[in-house]
Amino acid sequence: MTKRPVGLSFLLLALAGTASAQLITIRTLPISVEDQFLIFPSQRAGMAGVGIALPDSLLDPFANPAKGARVRASQFMSAPTFYGVSNGGGGGRTLPLGTFGQYGSWFGGAWAALQQVDAARPSNQIFFDPRTLDVLRSQGSIVDPNGLLNGLDARTHSNQFVFATIGRTLPSAGLSLAGSVSWAGLHAIDGVDLLYTNSMGVRQSGHSMDVRFGALKDLGAGRSIEAVLLYNRFHMTQDATYLDFFWDPGAQQSLQRARVERNLDYTDTWGMHLQFERPLADSVWRLGWIATMNRMSHPKIPNYQVEQIMNIPRDPGDSYAFNLGVGVSKVKDRTTFGLDVIYEPIWSHTWADSPTPVVDILGNTIAPGGMTVENHFRFSNALFRIGVGTDFGGETGRQHALQFGLILRSVSYHMNQFDHVQLSGRKQNESWVEWSPTWGIRLGFTGLDIRYQGRLTNGTGRPGIFQDGRVFVGDAAPTVGGGIIAAPNGPINLTNVQVMTHQFSISLPLR
């Protein structure tokens, strides 16, 4: 068992998909993880989400609660979102509702969302012993009266999200302070159902909590600086049902018995984010920069059951991730342009510790709790976003707009693995590029703002499905979540998929 690499999966959700500058996602496999959590409205999503030197009045209060001070009018908002993964890889729908407003020097808001997630639907059909059918049904597997199972877990599952923020402006100091808290009740993380080979169903349950404190300082002359401190906690339980064959002496034949394995996935993240904006000499241009640090602890990691990988239990880890970025923007007449460039260095360390004494090949004993395998990851990632928008129609407040953008994400890492039992090591380098065209349209009316924004993510993958229901991953050890750290056995080989996301948002003043 100690000869195999360690697999680690964890999720940074809540605001991970919509406030990526504050929560940094780690992935060693090209699996898309963001679209499920695009649950908040955005003014710039059609422009690739450029935001270092451009304000986003809809999204900014969710990323930094102190930016709620810039929401001048009380308003009701909703942003129904739909996404789908090609090749039967699943999908989901989210219906959020919320309101933001300002009352004197105080400001705040609340947001709630219901989400449905569709499991990936493989085409396998298998017959089972009637004794196992009740257990399979309790785990969500779809079984007809004849005992035919179609799919690992074909049910639609639901998640719930709530968010609240409150803050205050200190006009004499040019300072705004605010805090926010969000909570998610989770029963479905997209793609997890594919990561337990030959399982008959995976029941998920857990929660996420995100707490933030933000500050925004107006420095005058169009300059501002902001800071965010955050804590994110993710706790998830995954119960996978398997079928084991056993010999029944009475029936004189082999029968099937259901077995449930419980896996825990826990991650705690502490983070700090700084951002500065200022106009350039030409007032139509602005410059901004960001600096972000995340420290992540991973005390509990699932033992995914995937072909060609034997996971090692009791394998914790920790990570340090950074974002260093610069952005420029230009707003002139009815045209808006934005460009963000972000460099993302990350260091991760995962290991396996043994619950019992282990003897290495030289006869030395590794005490209980000692490391048997270590993985060191060094990432050098880059993110490029460029977007343009143009307004047309009537006067300000009744204008329409078109937006277009492109997101390019490069992921590159070096893995150094050492086996303390076999006293051997190996190295591996992996890299890939993801690209996402984006588009959007805004219809502005007196007292009403309607938006549609979409994007198509390319260059990502999912575990494939053979006809007998086995998960295919080539020579890799795949995991899924908002953050993914897995030590692959060889070249990564996943089924290529595309992820299409559509979001419709509406903003309506309350007075």
pLDDT on residue 198: 73
**pLDDT band at residue 133 under the 50/70/90 scheme:** low
Higher pLDDT, 89 or 478: 89
pLDDT higher than threshold 90 for residue 163: yes
pLDDT higher than threshold 70 for residue 77: yes
pLDDT higher than threshold 50 for residue 500: yes
| The Cα angle at residue 180 between residues 178 and 182, in degrees rounded to 5 | 175
The structure tokens 């451009």 sit at: 54
pLDDT higher than threshold 50 for residue 475: no
Higher pLDDT, 432 or 257: 432
pLDDT higher than threshold 90 for residue 504: yes
Residue 154: alpha-carbon gap to chain centroid = 22
Name beta bridge partners: 204: 238
pLDDT on residue 28: 75
pLDDT higher than threshold 80 for residue 420: yes
User: Regarding beta strands 223-248 and 201-220, do their DSSP bridges make them parallel or antiparallel, or are they unpaired?
Assistant: antiparallel
What is the DSSP code string of 357-368? -EE-TTSPEEPT
pLDDT on residue 2: 37
Q: What is the dihedral of CA 99, 510, 73, 109, to 10 degrees?
A: -20
**pLDDT band at residue 166 under the 50/70/90 scheme:** very high
pLDDT on residue 454: 95
pLDDT higher than threshold 50 for residue 209: yes
User: Using CA atoms, how far apart are residues 236 and 425, in angstroms rounded to an integer?
Assistant: 32
Domain positions in the chain are: 7-509
**pLDDT band at residue 437 under the 50/70/90 scheme:** very high
Of the candidate ranges 283-287, 302-306, 333-337, 471-475, the one whose mean pLDDT is the lowest: 471-475
User: Using CA atoms, how far apart are residues 383 and 180, in angstroms rounded to an integer?
Assistant: 27
Higher pLDDT, 248 or 228: 228
Q: List the alpha helices (DSSP H) in 115-268.
A: 133-138
What's the chain's average pLDDT? 81
Query: How is residue 86 annotated by DSSP?
Result: T
pLDDT on residue 196: 77
Cα–Cα distances in Å, from 105 out to 135, 168, 171, 176, 403? 57, 6, 8, 9, 34
- In words, the CATH class of domain 7-509 is mainly beta
**pLDDT band at residue 313 under the 50/70/90 scheme:** low
Taking a C-beta distance cutoff of 8 angstroms, is the pair 354, 374 a contact? no
Buried b (16+ CB within 10 A) or exposed e, 181-212: bbbbebbbbbbbbbbbbbbbbbbbebebebeb
Q: Span 12-32, mean pLDDT?
A: 61
Question: What percentage of the chain reaches a pLDDT higher than 90?
Answer: 45
Instruction: Read off the pLDDT of residues 85-132 as tens digits, 9 standing for 90 and up.
Output: 887 777 889 999 999 988 889 999 999 999 998 877 554 445 555 655
pLDDT on residue 81: 94
Instruction: Read off the pLDDT of residues 46-67 as tens digits, 9 standing for 90 and up.
Output: 999 999 999 998 899 999 999 9
Residue 272: alpha-carbon gap to chain centroid = 18
- Kindly state the tokens that stand for 294: 């995340």
Question: What percentage of the chain reaches a pLDDT higher than 70?
Answer: 78
- Kindly state the tokens that stand for 499: 């992820």
pLDDT on residue 7: 35
pLDDT on residue 308: 40
Instruction: Read off the pLDDT of residues 212-233 as tens digits, 9 standing for 90 and up.
Output: 999 999 998 889 999 999 999 9
Q: Which of 40, 14, 13, 21 is nearest to 503 (CA)?
A: 40
pLDDT on residue 137: 59
Taking a C-beta distance cutoff of 8 angstroms, is the pair 469, 500 a contact? no
Cα–Cα distances in Å, from 474 out to 199, 255, 478, 490, 503? 19, 31, 10, 8, 34
pLDDT on residue 124: 45
Record the pTM: 0.82
Number of residues that make up the chain: 511
Instruction: Read off the pLDDT of residues 175-199 as tens digits, 9 standing for 90 and up.
Output: 999 999 999 999 988 777 777 767 7
User: Using CA atoms, how far apart are residues 25 and 484, in angstroms rounded to an integer?
Assistant: 8
pLDDT higher than threshold 60 for residue 337: yes
Taking a C-beta distance cutoff of 8 angstroms, is the pair 152, 141 a contact? yes
pLDDT on residue 404: 97
**pLDDT band at residue 256 under the 50/70/90 scheme:** confident
pLDDT on residue 276: 96
Q: How many CB atoms lie within 10 A of CB 413?
A: 19
Taking a C-beta distance cutoff of 8 angstroms, is the pair 377, 353 a contact? no
